[in-house]
Structure 1
Amino acid sequence: MQHIIDRFISYVTIDTESDPNSTTTPSTEKQWNLANKLVEELKSIGLKEVTIDKHSYVMATLPSNVKEKVPTIGFVSHFDTTPDFTGKDVKPQIVKNYDGGDIVLNKKEKIILSPNYFKDLLQYKGQTLITTNGLTLLGADDKAGITEIVTAMEYLIQNPEIKHGKIRVCFTPDEEIGRGADLFDVKKFGADWAYTMDGSQIGELEYENFNAAGVKITFKGKSVHPGYAKGKMINSMLIANDFINELPKNEIPQETKGYEGFFHVTDIQGSIEETKLELIIRDHDMKKFIKRKELVHKICKKINKQFEKQFGEDIVICEIKDQYYNMKEKVVPVMFIVDLAEKAMKNLGIKPIIKPIRGGTDGCRLSYMGLPCPNIFAGGHNFHGKYEYVPVESMQKAVDVIVKIAELTATTDFSKTEKKKEKKGKKKK
């Protein structure tokens, strides 16, 4: 396990925070530091066709060691960390044989990682945890995934008796700002299907995610001296507030779970003359997703009608852009790739936790780009903040799952799967 710890720490101590306001790919120059390190490391462990393109996408190949023709599979993770919380000067702490009590992350700042609040901690009693020092995030999202993929490839190279087909790996920039798949060359990658190692707790296996849209709304106003404003002033901030109050009160992130969708106001900046508001829309169900977008337009239209005489033109300008869609539509037709991962976990004594992602991954975008790509656990918890941690045993299990998937892919008769698909197709007709 020390090998995994050392590799993981070597990654998380490199600052790779992405920047949503940047127009370049990668969005920050510092992401190149880890990308270039990975290139050299992949070469050193013996992978072939190791490449890095002008946008820092890293790809490599583990050649097949079987004579039979078997599907080419892929494993994908991202090396950037979220801009939601600082990833600079990460100083990981190792907690061996966790006793189930409070973990002092930072004594000076009185920052405690406690199972009284984060109950998931208790399932890792007796294990080795890697935490933050309370001042930064950890970066297990998704440097744990990278650690697991690299370690699994190294293990397969060192143990050639384990049969596997051709395996492709890719590490991407800017996933945390929604651009990880933007310049992903699916044709160059050349896999029949892939898995993102980007989930959370041990056992997670996901092939459903939100349909997602981003909304930008501008509210206009008229500034007049407050002492003489009656019937004249229009305060754009108050109009924005009225808009927010028109949204369903309980359909927000902190009040929803599972398949429940939401509206989430993410930013608001304003003055009397102009207020800009940003929110995101999320729903697993496409029909409900469309209705949510329609509701936003309906509220804006209502406010415009309310002020049309007084303002003389639209007082609210709304722009909605779809961001990604539920990968379920693309994965269900090849459901055997999920079944394969589930079987790998069960063979290793891991209880699969099959549930929808309340978010998105590179995999959902890649699935719509022609590369079906379910998501597998990477082991971390409390991503995007100072309470982030990862059990080392979970990372080791993720390595085992990758190896087992590779082995099963090389030893499974997929012609039977094709025949089942054909029979189902005939029945539908």
Structure 2
Amino acid sequence: MKEHPDYLKSFPKAEYEDHIQKLQKEMEIAGIDMLLLSSPENIFYSTAYRSWYTSSLFRPVLVFVPRIGEPAISLRILEKSTVENVSWCTRIYASGTKSRNLGPLNSEDPVDAMKKFMGELDLPVKRVGLEAGDGQHFFWSLNLLKYLVETFSGIKFVDGTMAINRARMIKSGWEIERIRTAGYITERAIIDTFFQIRPGITTEKDIARGIASRMAEGGVDKISYLTINSGKDKYHTFNSYATDRITDHGDIVLVDISGHIDGYASDLTRVIYLGCSPPEQYIEMAETARSCVHAGFDILKPGARVSDINKAIEGYLRQSRCGSQVVHSSGHSTGLNVTEYPNISDDCDEILKPGMVFALENGVYPYDSEKGAGTIRISFRMEDEALVTENGAEWLSGPGKALYTLGDFC
């Protein structure tokens, strides 16, 4: 049998075993016999297989995770060698065109692969969990999902979202270091690019290109989004992409960015004033946004509830001079997805545990209350990532400065 060196693997075998153990524990609690996984993030989490191949929506890749035993993956024969190189999953069902002689085929399609896999298990499969709820998504066509459900008419297909969410919710040391590294590289890219801004010359796209190139140089292997807001024509927009607008003296430039290392995401927001001496009201609003995040950080202790984070962040904002206008929620967990379960909200009673990672955020966005958020006249937001530890909280990014100015780089 051909050997595949460990250095080719996407993550260590112990990490893989930990992921499967977490999934199977949550499956047991949820009464699920098998998880049917289709999204790239869940495929990576459960097998260590990550490839551009899943960007093609014509060649389904599915992973079957049984409540007991090893998972299996179903995909086209051309990707089998990639799976063998990067993944710890040894049960591979390969399909393809027989006449091309690309290697031994042991399934006709994903449905046939699932049928064969279940036939080899030591336990009956009566309930199959799907990526069906908030925070998850079935990645391939609904026709394929319909075909699967109709083929296995004796199986009950249920929502497996919480089993997946809760397995991925507690990060391992390996995962945490990827998030920390991604955050560090992202922040350095932002600050180094701020240094290069020249009002009257630099466009939003120049800023975006500068940040993206520095992130890539630092080792970021994926950018989920990179948004730039500047000037009165864009202050009222949220997370809009960079334009050809030329930045000007006195502008506020807000960047909200996520970059990934080995799949794991950073999520940071930073703001710069294009001048040396910002108005006092700008400083006050920026410090309010920053203090909101720090209020949430102080809550990150084992035993507290996610809702307590929101109460702290939003509570600080409401007690400030800007407190009559709360525009959005206070953040979310991060991991393989930029936004993961749990979201920070008043109705989330999930108990905080060591290993949970959150992007803490909020902002000050003054607007005409009678006309709505479309009248926002300026934006100050802060966002940093933090980890719940046995002893409290730990910053994984920053903590960032409330408001950068051009004077910081003179």
TM-score per shorter chain, which class? under 0.3
TM-score (norm: length of structure 1):
0.25
TM-score (norm: length of structure 2):
0.26
Q: Which has the higher contact order (CA 8 A, sep 6+)?
A: 1
